[in-house]
Amino acid sequence: MIFKTRGENDELELFQFLRVRKKLEIEEENNFTYLEKGWLGEKQFDNMLLDLPNECLILNNLLLKVNNTFFQIDSLLLTQKKINIFEVKNYEGDYFFKNDRLHMISGKEIKNPHIQITRSESLFRQLLQELRFNIAVESQVIFINPEFYLYEAPVNAPFVFHAQLGRFLKNLNETVSASTISGSHMRFAEKLASLHITQNPYSRLPAYTYEELEKGIVCRGGCGCLDLEDSNRHTLICKKCGFVEGKESAILRSIEEFRFLFPEKRITVDVIYNWCKVIKSKKIIQKLLSKNFDLVLFGRGSYYVDKMKK
């Protein structure tokens, strides 16, 4: 069973919001593509693990720290006698292995995931010692993409290629079927989940300011543009793809986006009016804010906050 879900990827979400409203640098755009692809691969692997029997605990996306060193685990599977840690790679295309290094066919060297997982495994063992939980640990790199090919793949590396995944999962299935999860496993999983660090110290987020971002409401119809038209009382229509959305939900979405991007800024009618840009009537925004938020009276600087729970 899933003990800790992968959750949302704030980093990816930030990129998704920003790239509609700002031209990203090439390096940022590459970083986004890499993150998005990796995330998709991890989600795919999550789905595969869902078919395992219940006598296991799955913890997805753990960022942990031991002796002041951070390490990340894409997926962790806890069974009665063993912990598997998985590093999922969604690489695509032809690669080759030479002198313990991984290269794209163009020659460009990329991080060797074997080294990466060996490091994570070693740090994880240290953490186990600290927590005084004695259990065998095994790690694997999962190459999830069927379009990935590795020339000169080392036979003894802990790699699982797409063509091997079916058999690999079948073996896991047998291990889990023979396993029994006890209270101490549950407590250990709880402890691990509680140690997960939410703020990723490695994230390289693009810098941005309110002023430089293009304003408007993002179309939800899949085209993702900002070209919505307010020509109707209750709905907005996308000039590009024709998608129609209720005005209220579109504005609320934009408020959430604004809060995500600018958690330190105060929400006022004027701010949201400027941010949404396409909404003609300030009144609608004011009504919506009053309905969904509490007003903090502060003269001309009155602003809205989350509703107090009653």
Among 66, 189, 238, 250, binds Zn ion (CB under 5 A): 238
Residue 53 or 221 having the CB closest to Zn ion = 221
Identify the bridge partners of residue 293 per DSSP, sorted by sequence position.
306
Residues binding Zn ion: number (CB under 5 A):
7
Residue 77 or 238 having the CB closest to Zn ion = 238
Part of the chain binding Zn ion (CB under 5 A), chosen from 77-85, 170-178, 216-224, 288-296: 216-224
Part of the chain binding Zn ion (CB under 5 A), chosen from 108-116, 182-190, 217-225, 286-294: 217-225
* Residues in Cβ contact with 191 at an 8 Å cutoff, skipping those fewer than 6 apart: 131
Q: What angle do CA 225, 253, 283 make, to 5 degrees?
A: 100
Give yes or no for residue 241 binding Zn ion (CB under 5 A): yes
Give yes or no for residue 195 binding Zn ion (CB under 5 A): no
Number of DSSP helices (H) and strands (E) in the chain, helices first: 8, 15
Residue 46 or 245 having the CB closest to Zn ion = 245
Residue 12 or 223 having the CB closest to Zn ion = 223
Give yes or no for residue 125 binding Zn ion (CB under 5 A): no
Query: In angstroms, how far apart are the furthest CA atoms of the chain?
Result: 71
Report, in Å, the least distance between residue 241 CB and Zn ion: 3
Report, in Å, the least distance between residue 250 CB and Zn ion: 11
Give yes or no for residue 219 binding Zn ion (CB under 5 A): yes
Give yes or no for residue 220 binding Zn ion (CB under 5 A): no
Residue 168 or 243 having the CB closest to Zn ion = 243
- The Cα 164–Cα 157 span in angstroms is 14
Residue 228 or 289 having the CB closest to Zn ion = 228
Give yes or no for residue 226 binding Zn ion (CB under 5 A): no
* Residues in Cβ contact with 215 at an 8 Å cutoff, skipping those fewer than 6 apart: 21, 226, 274, 275, 276, 277
Among 20, 135, 150, 223, binds Zn ion (CB under 5 A): 223
Report, in Å, the least distance between residue 226 CB and Zn ion: 9
Structure tokens at 208: 């941005």
* Residues in Cβ contact with 58 at an 8 Å cutoff, skipping those fewer than 6 apart: 1, 2, 3, 4, 49, 52, 75, 76, 77, 78
Report, in Å, the least distance between residue 82 CB and Zn ion: 49
Give yes or no for residue 215 binding Zn ion (CB under 5 A): no
Within 10 A of 252 (CB to CB), how many other CB atoms are there? Answer: 15
Residue 158 or 221 having the CB closest to Zn ion = 221
| Cα 163 to Cα 73, 74, 98, 156, distances in angstroms | 23, 20, 22, 17
Q: What angle do CA 263, 268, 272 make, to 5 degrees?
A: 80
> Is the separation of the CB atoms in 135 and 127 below 8 Å?
no
The site for Zn ion (CB under 5 A) is made up of 219, 221, 223, 238, 240-241, 243
